Amino acid sequence: MKTWLITGCSSGLGKSLAQKVLEHGDQAVVTARNPDTVQHFRESFPETAYPLQLDVHKDDEAAGCIAGAIEHFGKIDVLVNNAGYCLRGAVEECSFEEIRKQFETNFFGTLRMIQHVLPHMRRQKSGVIINFSSIAALRTAEGSAFYGASKCAVEGLSDGLRKEVGPLGIQVIVVEPGPFRTDFFGRSIAVNENNIGDYKNTAGKRKVRLANPEDSGMKGWGDNSRAAEVIITAADNAAHGKEFPFRLLLGSCAVRLAEEVYAARAAETAKWKELSIQTDAD
């Protein structure tokens, strides 16, 4: 039986993952900024669900959450950094306060949890860290530059981290979801209110919240429960020394986008190769 600690369990993929983990018979520390939103897990799984309050902005809450999880269950086998949101607005429009808050949640919140869990995982010489990224790290749309930048930072962090902790028995997975039927397009969107006319037809068109995610026009919607099963499979493989992906794409939309992005980058590299290599020293 593994023990999972999952951030952002009040809704969306975090909620679905927590549900599936518990249904599988594992233990789960289910966290949210408002602990009332995750109490139902304890009602359904009184022996294996442990709800805790966690705002990833707060170092004392992150440390307390890790300590509380270990005190309650004795270990943490899988850390899932899922908590996050998307700031919508043009680069020029967004304030530094908004930008810092975006990175404080998506990047520094992830980093904070990792730094607090690693001493425990190093002692037990095992563990899996799963960091949620996004297809926005592959191709960032107008109006989401800071969201994409924060997820690119998560990926760079994760790539370096896996090479540091892999020899210690700790594995790292980055999850790159495509579109899912969650409240991401509604409650998880922060809309910048500084509207500059020149961006009306680019970033301005994306400064919306959607009650119905499918109104976004994106294709290839994923199923939350199936995504949870896929993540559990990858984590199980990583925990048991089997082959697993470092970058785990979720959904056919994500796969298509990755194929397009990688092919385009390979073509661009080949096209400009002769110019690029002119920098080599004789």
Q: HSE-up of 28 (CA within 13 Å, CB side)? A: 31
Q: If we measure between CA atoms, which residue out of 107, 187, 116 comes closest to residue 146?
A: 107
Residue type, 176: E
Could you tell me which residues come within 8 angstroms of residue 135 by beta carbon, excluding any fewer than 6 positions away?
A: 176, 177, 178, 249, 253, 254, 257, 258
C-alpha dihedral (123, 116, 49, 3), degrees to nearest 10: -30
Q: Which of 10, 151, 158, 207 is catalytic?
A: 151
199 is catalytic: no
d(CA 38, CA 31): 7
- Cross-strand pairs, 79: 5, 129
Q: If we measure between CA atoms, which residue out of 236, 255, 256, 252 comes closest to residue 244?
A: 236
147 is catalytic: yes
Q: Which of 10, 144, 147, 150 is catalytic?
A: 147
Say if CB 181 and CB 221 are below 8 A apart.
yes
CA angle 67, 73, 76 (to 5 degrees): 65
Catalytic residues: 133, 147, 151
